[in-house]
Amino acid sequence: MKTFNSVTSSLKTNTRDPLRQGSHPRWLFWAVWSASVVQALFGLVLAALNSLTLSRLFVEFVPSEMIATLAFATVGLVIGVRQPSNIIGWFFSALGTGHGLNTWLVQYTRYTFVTQPGTLPFGEFIAWLTFWVWVPTMALTMIFLPVFFPNGRLPSRNWRPFVCLATLGTILLSISLAFTPGLPEETLPEVQNPFVLDAGRDIFHSLNVAGLILVSLSFVGGIVGTFLRFMRAQGVERLQFKWFAFATFVTVTLFLVPVIINYPDFTQATFLTGVLHAIALPLLPIATMFAILRYRLYDIDIIIHRTLVYASLTGLIVALYVLIVGYLGALFRAASDFMVSLIATGVIAVIFQPLRAWLQQAVGRVLYGQRDEPYEVLARLGERLKATIAPDAVLPTVALSVKEALKLPFVAVTLESDGDYIIAAAEGTIVPHPLVLPLVYQGVQVGQLLVAPRAPREEWSASERGLLEHLAQHAGVAVHGVRLMRELQQAREKLILAREEERRRLRRDLHDDLAPSLAALALTAAAVKELIHTDPKAATVAAEKLRSSIRLTVADVRRLVYDLRPPTLDEFGLTGAIREHAAKFSADTAGMTEQPLAVKVAFSNDLPNLPAAVEVAVYRIVQEALMNVSRHAQASSCEIHLCYDAIKKEVHLIVLDDGVGLPAERRPGVGLRSMWERTTELGGTYDITRREPAGTRVSAVFPLARHQGARKESQSL
């Protein structure tokens, strides 16, 4: 499919005369259009010469044929000039010519045989044309136009036999009607077919039957094929088919109205028939022009909506008027018809606006759900989430609410997990290529909302897209809450598992390492006791070994203690431990790199006694941050700031460096994830950003209120 830029660029690069461009000279379209206009005017002149009244003009379809002539010819001209290679332009030009012929052929025949018999030449030939010339026009409109729509090409080579059979049926039907008796128009009973061939009556009858069968089958096959193509179409092509299908439906409906009214005399022509034909015939060319030229394609949904509303409104008003008039007429037989009609009109005037609003809302809900009621949709989603108790029911509630609100076939909610998105709740049958809307909370994407259109590959309207975006904004909060609940549950499970693993490790170390060592020390001490009296020298050697073993055992005990909590925190406190580690780290880098890393520390004086968990987290983050600076930052200096916000009761840790800063694209490694986990586990916030003009800023904030409460509770226990 060509893009707008490619089309405009091709037009710019072509410098030939636009009237001569393409394989079909565009002046031919102007010539056909001019001829069609002349035919329409000629038919109007002949109708005036026949002294037809306004009512008779509509009965003989003069206005409808004139309007159709101008509509089809003009649309053929517009499409032909803009897209000369599209055969649809030629189809409409030919249809304009065909309706132009219908405009004046009947009036010419009437003038020659009724108004002024024998005054115009070729009267019999013109009358003969009225018997069959309408067949190609009918076939082109009902069979060939849907098949070649919208690009003027057959959908595939498999359609070639279909086109051949349809062409054959059109030819057979035209020939049979041209040489069998009949009436060209019910309005001209005086005229008979002047070229009837009695010798071949049976043959022409067989041709007529064969032609009708082929044309009927071709019509049905074209409708079915067009429907299947519509179901497979996507994007712009699907909207083009919607325009075409809508115009065809309205045209057929307007054609059927007088047929139903005139039942059982289906062929009777009335003033209403002519008026409805005049309204219906230009709809198809105009809608097709909009579809092919892609002008206001997206307005088709609005047009369908309003058509259904006002068609339903008209039907209800007519039915209500008839019921009121009939009821009141039966109830008050003495009342005049004028008073009954006046009362009925007053009742309809009162209920018209409420009825229209109710119909518009009802039709909109049937077609598009609550697309035009965004506040009600958001309020209903909020009510459902408010009534939802179980956390596992939140995401299914969001999916179900969106699906029901817009009558969508598929809605799903995904959650972010390690850079990937996993479906957490879904309603309906999954479809390929759904619309993906991000679910964002405080600038962080926490999930996705997947929605499928009502029909395959259907475009979303602006109002639907806006409503979905608002729903995604509200759903982002709910998804964030569910995500926190799941992360909390996972954190609890990890905490329990870590605690049990730590107990298992301590038990293993105590049982496998410390217990045998203590047992060996006991045996060695007993041996020394025995040797003191018998062999003092051997006792001295054994005592020395016992002392060495005791030192090793003490080292093992210290290792177990150090693994539980950094001993430097107990020895120097948090600030002293950070100072000692910074000095040691700076000294170590001086011997390992050409440019030593100067580490500066700064602490606020009002720093309170911190909970043990916060102290360990701050110390470990400092260790990890300094390690990242030495490995990746290429920095010459680093600053560590630890301060206390007495108002918010928060501890702020900030680590700054003057290195190369963060890369444009990065994936958090083990160190960054470890710092984030240590901060969030204690309810804090962690952030790493790029400094200006160079360097990196690591920030971790720890709230103390909850931890101080927990520490007091643990101390009371």
How confident is the model over 571-620, as pLDDT tens digits? 888 899 899 888 888 887 776 666 678 889 999 888 888 888 888 889 98
CA–CA separation, 417 vs 436, rounded Å?
Answer: 17
Looking at residue 337, its pLDDT comes to 56
Looking at residue 187, its pLDDT comes to 54
Residue type for position 487: E
Residue 38 structure tokens:
């002349």
* Residue 63 · residue 108 · CB < 8 Å: no
Q: On the CB side of 3, how many CA atoms lie within 13 Å of its CA?
A: 3
Domains of the chain, CATH where assigned:
4-295 (no CATH), 315-368 (no CATH), 378-493 (3.30.450.40), 497-564 (1.20.5), 573-716 (3.30.565.10)
Residue 713 structure tokens:
């509770």
pTM of the complete model = 0.46
* Residue 597 · residue 584 · CB < 8 Å: no
CA–CA separation, 311 vs 250, rounded Å?
Answer: 10
Residue type for position 198: D
Looking at residue 10, its pLDDT comes to 36
Regions of the chain with pLDDT less than 70: 1-25, 182-191, 198-200, 234-236, 262-269, 292-392, 406-407, 418, 454-459, 461, 463, 497-498, 500, 502, 509-514, 558-564, 591-595, 664-668, 705-717
Looking at residue 153, its pLDDT comes to 81
Q: Which residues pair with 190 in a beta bridge?
A: none
* Residue 643 · residue 701 · CB < 8 Å: no
DSSP E strand stretches across 646-710? 650-657, 685-690, 696-703
Assign 3-class secondary structure to 647-674: CCCEEEEEEEECCCCCCCCCCCCHHHHH
Looking at residue 656, its pLDDT comes to 92
CA–CA separation, 183 vs 192, rounded Å?
Answer: 6
Positive/negative CA dihedral, 331, 337, 340, 345: positive
125 three-state secondary structure:
helix
Q: How many CB atoms lie within 10 A of CB 551?
A: 10
Read off the pLDDT of residues 150-185 as tens digits, 9 standing for 90 and up: 777 888 888 888 889 999 999 998 888 888 775 445
Looking at residue 512, its pLDDT comes to 66
CA–CA separation, 579 vs 585, rounded Å?
Answer: 10
